[in-house]
Amino acid sequence: MSAERDASLPNPTKWLMIGAVGLIIAFVGMFVDSRLASFCYLIGMLFTTSITIGMLFLVMIHHIFDAYWSTIIRRQAENFLAALPWMAVLFIPLFAITYFSGDQGTVWIWMNEDALVHGHKVADDVLYQKKTWWLNEFGPFGFWARTIISFGAWIYFARTFRRNSFSQDGDGKADHTYSSRKHAAGGLVVVALTWSMAGFDWIMSLEYHWFSTMFGVWFFANSMRAALAVLVLVAAFLVAKGPLKGVFNTKHLHDLSTLCFAFTVFWAYISFSQYFLIWNGNIPEETFWYNFREEGMWWGVSMFLVFGHFLFPFLFMLQYPLKTKFPSMVFMACWILFMQLFDIIFNVLPSLKEHHHPVDFIHQPMAILWLVASIVGGIGVLLWAYWTSYYKVKIIPIRDPRIGECLGHNH
Amino acid sequence: MADKFGILAKFDTPADIMHAAEKVRDAGYKSWDVITPFPIHGMDAAMGLKRSWVPRFTIVGGTTGFITGMSMIFFTNAFDYKILIGGKPLFSPMFAFPVSYELTILFSAFASIAGMFILNKLPMHYHPALKVDNVAEMSDDKFFLYIETEDPQFDEDKTRSFIEGLHPVEVTDMEK
């Protein structure tokens, strides 16, 4: 028996249509202004991928700790994992734009050896020459190989956790739990490494002179915040619409909110440390990255991140009454998702240069359209995959060994 | 008995004491407490306890710590003995931040502990429960509830019959 399609719950096909419209506009953008539109597309793609990878981390953390309170919401995270193969498909246009637009450096400028960076050709740039062991396109462990390996690993783990969890609904065997736990142990290491690699490749190499060893951790913190915010929204929606009403209680919400809070602090810690070390070291090959992000409108964006992505959520979620109520947490989850998007924009877009300066985004009205279209496209695909999976399986893992404890969760 | 502290009831299981606590709460008693060998989840609600005031101590401690850190770095580096290091400004919240946030955590922890002590009226060297013969059971496998004579609703006969109505296994008087 699967969850009944209730008329009050969303229709997956509708989300696919919305996503398709967004993606089509985004693809049109790639023909109009290929560089700007591909950067916007990259942002939309990173935003949705980071949500699904955050879900993958949450499922693995649940299994490795043999946790019980999160059993009730784990199934929704597993539903989101259904989107991972589609995230890989969403990456293909970025490959296409690199090799079929006439300029291989459209997105990742180092892929075009003739592109000019700080007045030098990439091929003559000693910093590039020293980094070619990592920054190469088709080497056996080059950029595209790494991308394929990463997506392969994520899809493998996503499928394993989904299969274990769904088969357990049928036969109730504890073996599935043990299998998931073992996969979580290996998966945490593999996904942590591959997700860091993705951060280095997809975002950091946009500006390949720059480097930060903390970047992978920042990417992890970012994805966890996004995934937790989405889980809060999903839980609130399913409680309001009925399926989880009376099952998902405020204690579960409190635990979820507390994790949101913890990762708010973690994100601040990582982001501050990265800035602080670069500020303190004061080496030009590191500081230029932040200097660009203090120019023009980006100064406002960085200040907005400090106060909007850290201080406000921190003070908000410091308060117990706000953490245990659905309306306040729904607001906070929306806020965090919005700010998380800003964070990705902040990390990606200023790497797009015009006359050696970051593109002034605000004065490019079309850019907003490409950005919104890319995000709507990604979200549409994500929610289509989620709701399709949702209707195929039960709302909670009913035969999980920990589900009894979880439902009685009262402290 | 002039120096009577209250009436003590003994229960066998956590469920019994939980239900008893709910009834005492609903009867409107104020000066009463429950003694159990281990924490019972849900007892806060059964006793009608409000949320603890400790977080208020914590926020005051944390804010104090943060301000202390910032002003200490400002005072030492930019005011009392100016030192220019590596061409950095004399004062910047950047390098004052690690110190400030460490002090935020330290002062929050101190304030929480202090708040917990104050609210629990600790250290408390004597409590009438220590005089009860079966005090050892309180930290072993029995569950106790007492209502103090200080309670505005306390009435020797009525309270005793009320407590007996909770079906305890034993009812005794507590001396001051």
Measure in Å the smallest separation between the Cα of B95 and chain A Cα atoms: 8
**Contact call for A282 and B87, based on CB within 8 A:** yes
Give the largest CA-CA distance in chain B. Answer: 81
Helix (H) or strand (E) run with residue A95 in it: helix A84-100
Distance from CA of B42 to the nearest CA of A (A): 7
pLDDT of B2: 56
Shortest alpha-carbon distance between residue A112 and chain B (Å): 38
Q: A361-399 pLDDT, tens per residue?
A: 777 888 889 999 999 999 999 999 999 999 999 999 988
**Structural contact between residues A389 and A10, judged by C-beta atoms closer than 8 angstroms:** no
B51 pLDDT tier (thresholds 50, 70, 90):
confident
Reported ipTM: the value is 0.82
Subunit contact A410:B95, Cβ cutoff 8 A:
no
Is A8 part of the contact surface with chain B (CB cutoff 8 Å)? no
Domain ranges in chain B with CATH number 3.30.70.260: 4-37+141-175
Which residue of A276, A282, A320 is in closest CB contact with B86? Answer: A282
CB contact at 8 A, A227 and A77: yes
- A279 CB neighbours in chain B (<8 A) are 94
| Residue B132: per-residue pLDDT | 86
Strand-strand pairing, B32-35 and A353-354: unpaired
- Integer Cα distance of A169 and A322 in angstroms: 34
Q: Which of A229, A255, A227 is nearest to A55 (CA)?
A: A227
Write down the pLDDT at residue A405: 85
Is the pLDDT at A294 greater than 70, yes or no? yes
**Is B155 strand, coil or helix?**
coil
* Burial of B8 (C-beta count, 10 Å sphere; 0-12/13-18/19+): buried
**Chain A residues near residue B41 by CB distance under 8 angstroms:** 410-411
CA separation for the pair A180, B114 (Å, rounded):
44
Mean pLDDT of B27-50: 90
Contact between B94 and A282 using a beta-carbon 8 Å cutoff: no
| Chain B neighbors of A282, CB-CB under 8 A | 86-88
What mean pLDDT value characterizes chain A? 91
Between A279, A282, A410, which is nearest B41 by CB?
A410
* A201 HSE (CA, 13 A, CB side): 24
Based on the number of CB atoms within 10 Å of its own CB, is A229 exposed (0-12), middle (13-18) or buried (19 or more)? Answer: buried
Contact between A176 and A168 (Cβ < 8 Å): yes
Give the tens place of pLDDT for each residue, B78-101.
999 998 888 889 999 888 999 999
Comparing B71 with A247, the larger pLDDT belongs to B71
Q: For domain B4-37+141-175, give the CATH number.
A: 3.30.70.260
Residues of A in contact with B88 (CB under 8 A): 282
Q: At what angle do helices A71-81 and A215-241 cross, to 10 degrees?
A: 110
Q: Which residue from A276, A410, A411 is facing B94, i.e. has the nearest CB?
A: A276
How, if at all, do strands A357-358 and A353-354 pair? Answer: antiparallel
C-alpha distance from B9 to closest chain A C-alpha (Å)? 26
Contact A16, A84 (CB under 8 A): no
Q: Do B86 and A410 touch (CB under 8 A)?
A: no
Query: For the packed helices A84-100 and A365-392, what is the interaxial angle rounded to 10 degrees?
Result: 150
Q: Which of A383, A395, A393 is nearest to A12 (CA)?
A: A383
Using a CB–CB cutoff of 8 Å, tell me whether A307 touches chain B.
no
Residues of B in contact with A320 (CB under 8 A): 51, 55
Mapped onto helix, strand or coil, the DSSP state of residue A394 is coil
Residue A75 phi, psi (nearest 5): -60, -35
* Distance (Å, whole) CA A331 – CA A309: 14
Residue A178 has pLDDT above 50, yes or no: yes
Lowest mean pLDDT among A21-25, A186-190, A226-230, A284-288: A284-288
Encoded tokens for A56: 């993958």
Residue-wise DSSP of A42-69 = HHHHHHHHHHHHHHHHHHHHHHHTT-ST
Chain A: residue nearest B101 by CA?
A269
Query: B144 near B35, Cβ under 8 Å?
Result: yes
pLDDT in tens, A44-78: 999 999 999 999 999 999 999 999 899 999 999 99
Q: How far apart are the CA of A236 and the nearest CA of chain B, in angstroms?
A: 24
Which chain B residue has its CA at the smallest distance from A251's CA?
Answer: B42
| Mean confidence (pLDDT) of chain B | 91
Please report the pLDDT score of residue A1 as a whole number: 39
